[in-house]
Structure 1
């Protein structure tokens, strides 16, 4: 199942903090699409995934909106 988290308008570290909180409630293998416009998210989200063991499946940017697809790992 893919969930969506809109963090547009939030500045560092809020997008990652909200992502971490939402991931805790999900089952292993669930995916979440994070939308953010904070430039720091380009570094913060991959770093968070690497440190927490979750998988960053995709990241892209369009029109100032960053999109990250993260899969929860056990």
Structure 2
């Protein structure tokens, strides 16, 4: 999946990943795709809620060995 930006939030704990996500999404063009890499389990709850609240699309999410990956498409 081709992305327009990557946010590496590994090692950061709530609320830092979502605060950083807010800034990164703001910098994306409309319809842009952002990949987020995180290690905080609370992102499993926080990132989907962030997307619903702000109207962005959570395209995909994956979890492997304590690393959480998210692909978020900015609303047009």
Please say whether Structure 1 and Structure 2 have the same fold, judged by a TM-score greater than 0.5. yes
Say what the alpha-carbon RMSD is for the aligned residues: 0.9
> TM-score, normalized by length of structure 1?
0.95
* 4+ long deviations beyond 3 Å: none
| 1:9-55 alpha-carbon deviations (Å, 9 max, x no partner) | 00001111101101111111110000001010000000000001100
Q: How many residues align?
A: 74
Q: Distance in 2 between matches of 1:23 and 1:7?
A: 14
**Pick aligned residue for 1:43 from 40, 45, 68:** 45
> TM-score, normalized by length of structure 2?
0.93
Structure 1, unaligned runs of 5 or more: none
Structure 2, unaligned runs of 5 or more: none
